[in-house]
Structure formats: C-alpha cells, structure tokens
C-alpha cells in the first residue's frame, strides 16, 4: 500500500554550518546526503518563539495540480 502524498514528501533536514557560506550544508537528517539545489538558507530564533529555517530553492521543476475555488470580489458601495 502506498503512503499518502503528505508522508512521501516529508524529510527531516539537518543544517550544518561553521558560520560561513562555504562551510554550510543542508542534509537529509536520516541519510546524511547533501540536498542539492538550495541557494540560500536563513535561520532565526527569538526568545519564547519557535526557531524558523527558510530554504530557498531555485530552478525547480514541479508538477502541481489541485482543486479549489478562486474567490471573486464583488463591487460594493458604501450606504452611509
């Protein structure tokens, strides 16, 4: 039986850095394999807040499909 798409897409990552750009790598936390294609990584952590890592990936080929509604904005006039 196949896994749901949300589980297939999950990967734990590990950011390793010596504090320099050349000494920083983004890896699959389970395999240690370097994840290619990441052109930037930012990390922030503030007191009493969750740490946030943002990874920027450029020139990615994706196939996206979905169902949804596109909201429309109706013209309204103020009755005042």
Domain boundaries of the chain, sorted by first residue: 5-57
Residue 58 is predicted with a pLDDT of: 83
Q: How far is CA 56 from CA 11, 36, 48, 59, 79, in A?
A: 16, 11, 25, 10, 47
pLDDT at 1: 47
Is the torsion defined by CA of 5, 59, 40, 18 positive or negative? positive
pLDDT along the chain (80 residues), means of 10: 57 90 91 90 89 84 72 60
Q: What is the pLDDT of residue 74?
A: 67
């Amino acid at each position: 039986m196949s896994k749901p798409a949300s589980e297939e897409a999950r990967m734990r990552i590990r950011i390793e850095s010596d504090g320099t750009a050349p000494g920083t790598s983004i890896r699959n936390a389970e395999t240690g394999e370097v994840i290619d294609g990441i052109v930037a990584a930012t990390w922030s952590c503030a007191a009493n807040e969750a740490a946030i890592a943002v990874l920027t990936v450029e020139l990615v080929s994706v196939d996206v499909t979905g169902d949804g509604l596109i909201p429309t904005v109706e013209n309204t006039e103020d009755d005042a």
